[in-house]
Amino acid sequence: MPLKSFKLISSVASRERSWPYFAFVFLRTFFGGLLLVYVAVFLSDPFDSGRSPISLTRGVFDHDARFSNASNARDPAFDSAIFGNSHGQALEPNRLSQLTGHHFLQLTVPGTGPLEQLTLLRWFLRHHKEPASAVFVVDDWWCESDLPIQVRYSFPFWLYDGWFEYLPRLLSPYAMDRAARRIGLTVGLYSRSDPANFDDYESGKTWAFHPGNTIGDQSAPVTSPTVKFAFPAVELLRKALAGRPALPVVIIMPPIYRTAIPRPGSVWNERVNACQVAFANLAEERRHGIYLDFRLDDDITRDPNNFMDSTHYRSNVARFLEGRIAEGLRRAAIR
């Protein structure tokens, strides 16, 4: 056999032999690397949700409340929480703590509706066997009757759910990012985000609210007085709180600028009125429950200086509400 042909055959044979090693290197690197990174992310407990056997430092470096609440809501330094969305975000937990003697943290998340807020309530209750109080800042989204209840923006329900939902999500860019932050926090590269989770969105900004035309429901008055409204979100709240009958609860419907209030007699106004009755009944049923309604046509809601926009009140109103909430909790406690 000529030498050239022999070399050719030898080279092909050697290449054929090396393909198994090529595939082996690929599979070993891929699955080995995957396992290594996954285990590291899991052990770092990227969201400080208490699922890792290794205990790194407490808390997270994270300004996204959707994720950071998994850590904050477990913090034993707090025994009370505020639930809601941006309509409850201006309430300052430290002030509420001073006024009530409880230890409040903010668990509000902007853009969330009832399902997200109830998820956070369940998570908070799961990690606090004896909570001191809970405050719910409810809005129109709680008064919708359509099923399924809407989730308007992305929310990590899996983070507050079981292992089966949680574990696959660790294979993600945000879990890796949070794992790196947790490690950075542990070695002192970062400092912990405010565990009470208060974000003063008024701070450092100039707000100028110019109320325009009316924007609430201005449709003709409801002609049929027999309209029955259903409030599935209120029922879900009732169920979520049923296991803690002694927990003092304050439910408030915060003020909105008067032009955003639906016209009396309009469908939406009737719905919100019925919804308020449903909340009032829920509070009344509880051993220590109070419902506070601030959606009124009064001095607060007639002054544009009290608002950043038609549905977000400013800090001066927040201070007023904090006082009323504290007073409500005192009243609820002696009921």
Would you tell me which residues interact with another protein (CB under 8 A)?
15-16, 18-23, 25-30, 33-34, 37, 154, 168-169, 171-176
Q: How far is the CB of 107 from another protein (least distance, A)?
A: 22
- The string of DSSP codes covering 8-39 is HHHHHHHHHHHHHHHHHHHHHHHHHHHHHHHH
Tokens of 329: 């909790």
CA 240 to chain centre: 16
Nearest to another protein of 28, 319 (CB atom): 28
Alpha-carbon 46 to chain mean position:
17
* Residue spans of beta strands (DSSP E) within 44-203: 80-83, 104-106, 133-137
Which CB sits closer to another protein, 151 or 296?
A: 151
Residue 94: alpha-carbon gap to chain centroid: 19
Of 29 and 57, nearer to another protein (C-beta) is: 29
Residue 305 beta carbon to another protein: minimum distance, rounded to whole angstroms = 36
CB 247 within 8 A of CB 124: no
Residue 61 or 158: the one with the smaller Cβ distance to another protein is 158
C-beta of 173 vs 225, nearer to another protein: 173
Query: For residue 81, what are the contacts with CB-CB under 8 A and spacing of at least 6?
Result: 73, 104, 105, 106, 107, 120, 121, 124, 131, 134, 135
23 or 242: CB nearest another protein:
23
Buried b (16+ CB within 10 A) or exposed e, 188-210: eebeebebbbbbeebeeeeeebe
**In the bound complex, what is the minimum distance in angstroms from residue 96's beta carbon to another protein?**
33
Q: Compute the least distance from the CB of residue 18 to another protein, in Å.
A: 4
Kindly state the smallest distance separating residue 113's Cβ from another protein, in Å: 17
Cβ at position 122, least distance to another protein in Å: 21
